[in-house]
Structure 1
Amino acid sequence: MLFDKKGSMDEHEAHDIIENVVAAGDIGMFSWHMDTGTFELIEHISGYRLQGIHSLPDFLERYVFPKDLEIALQDLNNYLNGKEEVFQSTFRVLDSKDKMHWVFCKGTIMESNKLAGLIYDVSANKMLKGNDYTTNLVDAKYLTRKLGNAIQNKQKENSIGALLYLEIDNLHSLINHYGFKFGSIVLYQMSRILLNFTSGKDEVSRFPNDKFMLLIDNVTSNDEIKNLGKKIIKMLEAPLIVEGLPVYLNVSIGMTLFPDADKDAIELIRQSDFAISHSKEQGSNRASFFDTELMETFNRGMQIESELANALNNDEFYLVYQPQLNVVDNIITGFEVLLRWNNKRLDFVSPAEFIPVAEEKGYIVKTGRWLLQETIKTARSWIDLGLEFGTLSINVSPVELFQKDFRERLLETCVKYDVPPEKIKVEITERTVMNSNAKNITIINDLLADGFKIALDDFGMGYSNFNFLFEFEITTLKLDKSLVEHIKDKKRRLFIESILKLRDYKDFDVIAEGVETKEELDTLVGLGCRRIQGYYFSQPLKRSVAEKFLMDFSNKSADMGK
């Protein structure tokens, strides 16, 4: 008898019900009599007649897909050793017709020292933990666990494994154009391509959104995994055919080896993800290996992340103010307020280093609130001193701008310090607006209606959309430093001239950033650009120095007017 009789049900009737349920092929039952060494099994999932089995470990070794056996045995041992209250494991089974099934096995020790349980075929379950429904690959959590085991095994064997992390850069764009079903087909086809590059214990996993991870069980050198990355990129030069359409994929790949000192699975995944970011910086279809050079950059980023958590509480941030001038009328039109960080361990940290980390980790909201308040306090102080400073411009990230209370907080702070909204300019990037929905655009329009000024920063850095300028109201457009640096280039000069003509039509101000030489200044003025910001006039100044700059400039202008 497989299970004890319960209630008043006839034993033979119960057995018939069990047989009928199991015959459907989705459920199986097992019972391991641990004292006598006997094992009973009823299942039709695998299509095999398993004989000569005396224990649950024996069954798992015969039943489980080889790549998942270590995980299944680990789950059983964890239960038998008291680490888990119930034995449960998810793994794959290759049936007698070479069809792969995802199986969930669950059991517990009953009376008479018998471990009994059920086996479920959960292949069609979209919510299954361990399996990615779209690609039928193992999911990120399952792969991470396998990686942890692989690290331990490689340490014992004194051998090397590798991770290859791949991201489809243009998947989001494809889904926007053709829909989610189309995107799912792309993901499935990519999974089949990557499986072609695996053998033995290698594993391919679907990670969230547009990423895949290859766990390569055995490699002999850095060059071997680098060549694998090149082969994958080479294969993707040919288009996929999706619903009759040729689809070219842009991918970025990051690679790393293991084991490495005390690095665990999560750390290794972060390293390969960091290598992906480096690949993206190099352009489309690139593969980067996490080497010593990248390690230094990665470690620096980790240090920044760690120290940034308490930077505000430790009073490590400070503000500097860079003047903006109208060189034709010889007046100061404003200051850009810039955040700076000086850390006890890291010394001065560039905004280019810490701002992206602050945005990613969520520190930017709290830090931005501090910057906003300090800026408005400065505005109040300068108003009280009778200084004509124009506007104070604050850089606002998308994370901050689209916080529900951003507008309300900005208004409340202005009211608190009695600063007119028109004295504050909010600087945003073109990308911020281009990636925004209609609701978010409304927030920007509301700020304009409140009297705040809006500046579009870094215009001309890479792709810039002229049509966008006709649809979106702004107060100021800031020409990116890259345009000014290459102002001798005819195409860039024509670009600037076009912006200035549009300025006159749309009635917004144009400020040229990063002006460092008289030649750049003269050329810009000759083109009709009157407003300038850059080291030619002044570097960013601490508040006390900026105040003196304002006073000196005001006195100088007054003397010139006499």
Structure 2
Amino acid sequence: MAALRAHRAWKILLIGILTGLLTWLFFKAGEISPEVHHRYTRTLHQFQQFDEQLNSKVVASYAGLVQNYDGMAYYLGRLRETGVKLREMPAWLDAGDRQRIEARIQALIDAGQAKALDIDRFQRANSVLRNSTLYLPQAADALLARPAWPQADAFEDFIRRLIGFGLTRTLDDAEAASLRDSLVRLQADGGGDEARREMKQVLVHAEIIMARGPEVAALVDRIIRAPTSVLHEDLARSYLDAYQTAAATAAYYRTLLYAISMLLVGYALYALFRIERDRRALLLAHADLEARYEAQRRAEDELRLYGTVFTHAAEGMTITDADSRIVAVNPAFCAITGYTPDEVIGRTPALLNSGRQGEDFYRKMWMSLRETGQWQGEIWNRRKDGGIFPEWLSIAAVSDDGGESGHYIGVFTDISERKQSEARIHHLAHHDALTGLPNRLLLEDRIEQGILKSKRGQRQMAIIFIDLDRFKNINDTLGHAVGDTLLIQAAQRGLHVLRDTDTLCRQGGDEFVVVLPELESRQDAAHVCRKILSALCQPYLLAGHELTVSGSAGIALYPEDGETASELLRKADAAMYRAKEEGRNTFCYFSAEINTATLGELLLENDLFGALERAELLMYYQPKVDAADGRIVGAEALMRWRHRERGMISPEQFIPLAEENGLINAFGEWAIRTVCAQQRAWLDAGLLVVPVAINVSAQQFAQQDLPNMVAHVLAEYGLPPQLIELELTESLLMRNSARAAAVLQTLRRMHVQVAIDDFGTGYSSLSYLRQFPVQSLKIDRSFVSQIGEHGESVRLASAIIAMAHELDLSVIAEGVENEIQARYLVEHGCDQFQGYLYGRPQPVDEFGALLAGRQLDHAA
């Protein structure tokens, strides 16, 4: 016994020693975490990336590609954050390696701080340089536009040389010396007139550019050549060397851990072998006992399950003997039929017979049971209270040991609710939920039936498509509930007019369709249509208001206008739209001309959707001239559509279509972007550009953030806001005068000019006009075209000019086509002209040539 206890003590001691050794080796081998290593390596890589991105932002700002310093601030912040993370070195690094890496991190952070100071100096110097660079060309152009003055040529030569050498690049010594001499001569030129004073103000900015340019270039060079990149590479190499040393040490410990683990595995396998031998002997002893117990348990579970299913099933169940007498029923049977078990046991299921099925039905049921042993189907039975209900019944025959049917099991479900649901679904599938009228699905069936009747009786059939006029106004003003009430009343009125053989259907929304089968003549359809429209026009009492709503109708006849339901509906719909065009509250028969016009408009509208993507939209420019001397002082951008097959499409055709289908917003933004891009191209080509006016639609003004979009486009192309002008109609501004005034105030703060187009044709008042911060009015061409004839339009034109000048607004006359009109407008003080007398709308190349000629005249 003592020897056994000593043996166990040695085994326990040995296991304890091995366990401690394994634990120590496990921690030593697992000190290096790949995740920590990858995270620290990623932090090193991020520092390098942020440093490179910072260099690129500095270069981009220096080159003028970026207008702010947000990117530099962002990457400087990220570099500082990354430097803090670099100090959080992995714990498994050796102490000596940690000191070396810490020193290199500190050197890298110090270099980054020095670089940040240079960037701060660059931002301040570059801001001053950029302001002068942006101001100089504009101020110089304004000064050179003044009447001739003594230093103009020398000043212009100096400015051109300075711009030619590049406003922000470092000049060589010869160029710098020459420019400084010119600057000194211009600054030394005394005199007190206004032109010389303005010239000296401009020269201050030239001096700043020449002084700050080399300073900024030197700062950029020093930032790019900062030692952060070299220090980062040194830090990365030091860390990788330390990591490889730690990894080699960990690998050594893992090898020892593996060897000791193998020894323990061998001992464990030996112990398992002995345990498995004893376990098998024990299992064999219990196998027979478990088998018998399991068989008994399964039998009891099956009996319990069968009893539970029979008792708790939601379906009614009956069990009958070979003579079809009931021997058992479940509670669901009693709940469905109303009978108790005592009332049915011993009787046949015939007591449930409703009388709806005949003898032939039951004969086929028993034939199926004898041949296949089962039957299922729908059957009507009677409850104890006499109520008849439908049920789905399944019967299965149970055979005895001799193969004869000893019992029958019947399972049934009450399907009364399902039958009712099917009836409701059938009604909803074929009728409108709001009005109860047939829907489109049932309508097509009624039309097909009407076509068959018309073929047999050789008579006509009419389809009337009716749409309530201005129903959307009632829906939007009084609400959808009132609109629904109106639709219900309109449907009832239509039903009272029609015969029982006619069909009134709600197509959807406020559209109704009438099917008139077996007509004697086409006049019968017109007679019925007039009666329906008359009934619809009677006043409605809606939400306490007495309102009158009319309807427009289109009539298509079978077989004259079509032989299918879809064709007749389509043509009746087209005729209805023609009735709306002719004044509403009327009807039209379909004709071939309606179909041709509708198809052409539909195809054109379909092509319009891809016009932008196919680059089919063009911008033409019509000059505006000064009324006093005929000089070009502006232009109006006019959109054109060059269709790939039809050629040029008139704006009167495609602009209304774009407004109807919502494309006008995209077209309007394209127009503003195209004009700004073209102005930028003309400026880059050295042309003397003029302000260009762009028309803004009512939808674009109402739905888009116009000031924000204009500001974004101007910034994108680096365009002064004075080079574009927006033209808005007075009716557009009056739709929401408060919002319009706010938008115009924003545009005014942006220095974007605004003109009221087609003035005199709208309904604005002088009190509203004074609230709108606009700069000019455009007299509508309808007034200008009457000049030369005696009439109110002539007096209106002169009155508009006088009124506009009283309000400090300039006046532009549209449609000036002859000298008589021009002389009259000049005599009454009109400021600018636009019309065929001075130039038609021109493609961009022709108008660019016109600007080039203007530049030559200016130089001369």
TM-score, structure 2 as length reference: 0.46
The offset of 1:230, in angstroms, is 4.7
Residue identity in the other structure for 1:323: P
Does the CA contact (< 8 Å) of 1:203 and 1:214 recur in 2? yes
Does the CA contact (< 8 Å) of 1:271 and 1:298 recur in 2? no
Show the 5 A alignment for 1:73-152.
117=418, 119=420, 131=432, 133=434, 136=435, 138=437, 143-150=439-446, 152=448
**Greater shift after overlay, 443-452 or 373-382?**
443-452
Q: 1:119–1:174: structure 2 CA closer, same or farther, 3 Å change rule?
A: closer
Gaps of 5+ in 2: 1-313, 318-329, 339-355, 362-374, 392-410
The offset of 1:508, in angstroms, is 3.2
Q: 1:315–1:181: structure 2 CA closer, same or farther, 3 Å change rule?
A: closer
Does the CA contact (< 8 Å) of 1:368 and 1:396 recur in 2? yes
Q: 1:357–1:10: structure 2 CA closer, same or farther, 3 Å change rule?
A: same
1:539 is paired with a residue of what secondary structure?
coil
Q: Which of 582, 590, 597 in structure 2 is aligned with 1:297? A: 597
Match of 1:212 in 2: 511
Match of 2:752 in 1: 452
Residue identity in the other structure for 1:216: V
Q: 1:173–1:496: structure 2 CA closer, same or farther, 3 Å change rule?
A: farther
Q: 1:454–1:168: structure 2 CA closer, same or farther, 3 Å change rule?
A: same
Show the 5 A alignment for 1:59-74.
none
Match of 1:23 in 2: none
Higher strand share: 1
Show the 5 A alignment for 1:376-387.
376-385=676-685, 387=687
- Which whole-Å CA distance do the structure 2 matches of 1:452 and 1:272 have between them? 50
- Which whole-Å CA distance do the structure 2 matches of 1:144 and 1:554 have between them? 68
Does the CA contact (< 8 Å) of 1:390 and 1:423 recur in 2? yes
- Cα deviation code 1:384-417 (max 9, x no counterpart): 4554553212223344344556543322221122
Gaps of 5+ in 1: 17-30, 43-49, 56-109
Residue identity in the other structure for 1:420: P
Does the CA contact (< 8 Å) of 1:164 and 1:229 recur in 2? no
- Which whole-Å CA distance do the structure 2 matches of 1:117 and 1:359 have between them? 51
The offset of 1:117, in angstroms, is 1.3
Match of 2:809 in 1: 508
Answering whether residue 162 of structure 2 is matched by residue 162 of structure 1, we say no
Choose 1 or 2 for highest CA Rg.
Answer: 2
Q: 1:171–1:193: structure 2 CA closer, same or farther, 3 Å change rule?
A: farther
Q: Which of 395, 419, 422 in structure 1 is aligned with 2:722? A: 422
Residue identity in the other structure for 1:214: V
Higher helix share: 2
Show the 5 A alignment for 1:21-36.
none
- Which whole-Å CA distance do the structure 1 matches of 2:585 and 2:468 have between them? 10
- Which whole-Å CA distance do the structure 1 matches of 2:483 and 2:502 have between them? 28
Q: 1:503–1:186: structure 2 CA closer, same or farther, 3 Å change rule?
A: farther
- Which whole-Å CA distance do the structure 2 matches of 1:383 and 1:407 have between them? 23
- Which whole-Å CA distance do the structure 1 matches of 2:539 and 2:610 have between them? 48
Match of 1:481 in 2: 781
Q: 1:437–1:191: structure 2 CA closer, same or farther, 3 Å change rule?
A: farther
- Cα deviation code 1:284-320 (max 9, x no counterpart): 5444444222222211112112322332232222111
Answering whether residue 614 of structure 2 is matched by residue 314 of structure 1, we say yes
The offset of 1:382, in angstroms, is 2.9
1:382 is paired with a residue of what secondary structure?
helix
Q: 1:275–1:558: structure 2 CA closer, same or farther, 3 Å change rule?
A: farther
Residue identity in the other structure for 1:516: E
TM-score, structure 1 as length reference: 0.66
Q: 1:255–1:538: structure 2 CA closer, same or farther, 3 Å change rule?
A: farther
- Cα deviation code 1:72-119 (max 9, x no counterpart): xxxxxxxxxxxxxxxxxxxxxxxxxxxxxxxxxxxxxx9999897153
- Which whole-Å CA distance do the structure 2 matches of 1:520 and 1:173 have between them? 47
The offset of 1:203, in angstroms, is 1.0
- Which whole-Å CA distance do the structure 1 matches of 2:483 and 2:713 have between them? 45
The offset of 1:463, in angstroms, is 5.4
Does the CA contact (< 8 Å) of 2:798 and 2:825 recur in 1? no
Residue identity in the other structure for 1:394: I
Matched pairs, number: 468
Residue identity in the other structure for 2:511: F
Which structure would you say has the larger RCO, counting Cα contacts within 8 Å and 6 or more residues apart?
Answer: 1
Match of 1:492 in 2: 793
Match of 2:156 in 1: none
**Greater shift after overlay, 406-415 or 246-255?**
246-255
The offset of 1:450, in angstroms, is 2.0
2:817 is paired with a residue of what secondary structure?
coil
- Which whole-Å CA distance do the structure 1 matches of 2:337 and 2:730 have between them? 69
Residue identity in the other structure for 2:642: N
The offset of 1:350, in angstroms, is 1.8
Q: 1:175–1:409: structure 2 CA closer, same or farther, 3 Å change rule?
A: closer
Percent identical among aligned pairs is 24
- Which whole-Å CA distance do the structure 2 matches of 1:527 and 1:238 have between them? 54
Q: Which of 373, 378, 391 in structure 1 is aligned with 2:673? A: 373
Q: 1:496–1:392: structure 2 CA closer, same or farther, 3 Å change rule?
A: same
Does the CA contact (< 8 Å) of 1:323 and 1:538 recur in 2? yes
Match of 1:546 in 2: 847
- Which whole-Å CA distance do the structure 1 matches of 2:382 and 2:819 have between them? 87
- Which whole-Å CA distance do the structure 2 matches of 1:374 and 1:41 have between them? 82
2:440 is paired with a residue of what secondary structure?
helix
2:439 is paired with a residue of what secondary structure?
helix
- Which whole-Å CA distance do the structure 2 matches of 1:122 and 1:525 have between them? 81
